[in-house]
Amino acid sequence: MLALQFPELHRMDLVEVPRPETGPCDLLVRVASSGICGTDPHILHGLYPATFPVIPGHEYAGVVEAVGPEVDGFRPGDHVAADPNILCGSCSFCRAGKGHLCKNLVALGVNLPGGFAEFSIVPARQAYLLPSELPLAHAALAEPVACCLRGMDLAQVRSGDRVAVFGAGPMGAIMLQLALMQGASAVIMIDPQEGRRARAEAMGAHWVIDPGKEPPVPAIRDEYPDGLEVVFDCSGNTRAVRQGLEVVMRGGTMMCYGVCNKEEQIEISPFWINDNEITIRGSYNNPNTMGRAVGLIASLRLDAAAVVTHHFELKHAPEAFRATGSSETLKVVIDP
């Protein structure tokens, strides 16, 4: 079968590899769509830990081709989405109900072969059944939507809150939609790319800011002198995090959702955090949110078509990676 492989750092190859064999508790899935996450180029360039060589792709959905003999609840022809994060179940974090922080976590597309291939092995316990009428290209959003739901839960956006989102890429676009569903009275999107600002406006953003032309901190403070209840950084940019901390109100929450370079740091006053009762949170992974994500996408409450903007065949995967992150794209999906 054809697959995209990262054999080593800074290198990607299209390769022919044997079709994987189905274990007793596994599903063999014919991959229909697999989204490119910002983590994938990070893996390629050594900015995120992975096991090489690896077939990447951890946001994917497809059709069950074969079922292991010990599997119940699935049959060939079922449509499924994969939860890539496989927990050990026995470490102190797993036993404390914090499996997303599992000491021994391994992930499809990071440590095990993932979805940038014609076929993938998915442990049955990692698979979520999908309605057959749901476009599989949209189902590839299940994992990123699940991660965003986790961030939204932790940020505790309430009806009437004012929210800012730095970064109008795929995750920012999902956060925008989720904040609107939560009843936010204003959602402000900050992004330097014109195309992404236009897409955010079309999705319902109340105000879009080009930080290259309008410094966001004074602009937001002029409109909302007390600041905003919740600020998300979905850009992974430390400058945006600093700006977010300048516009969050007293008693508000700053959600560091984007993945910043691990070597970069910012200075912050512990007195200021205490005096203003600021909550600074991170959000890691997708614990117990995959089912909700599938439900949102299947119900059409979340507009997946507005987020999935570009499709590439597997043989054009390198081109798909080059397109990722441009002003014209949001979520780029590879369709094996």
Cite the active site residues.
39, 42
Q: Residue 254 contacts by C-beta under 8 Å, 6 or more apart in sequence?
A: 231, 233, 241, 244, 245, 248, 278, 279, 280, 281
CA distance 83 to 126: 5
CA geometry: angle 131, 148, 45, nearest 5 deg? 105
CA pair distance 290, 335, nearest whole angstrom: 21
Q: Taking Cα atoms as reference points, which of 232, 229, 251, 230 lies closest to residue 240? A: 232
Residue type, 15: V
Give me 128's structure tokens. Answer: 């979520």
**CA distance linking residue 194 with residue 327, whole number of Å:** 7
Instruction: Name the maximum alpha-carbon separation found in the chain.
Output: 63
Q: Could you tell me which residues are beta bridge partners of residue 272?
A: none
Decide: residue 93, CB within 10 A, 0-12 exposed, 13-18 middle, 19+ buried: middle
Cβ atoms < 10 Å from Cβ of 69: 8
Q: Write the CA distances from 21 to 65, 66, 91, 126, 221, integer angstroms.
A: 11, 10, 29, 17, 58
Under DSSP, the state recorded for 184 is -
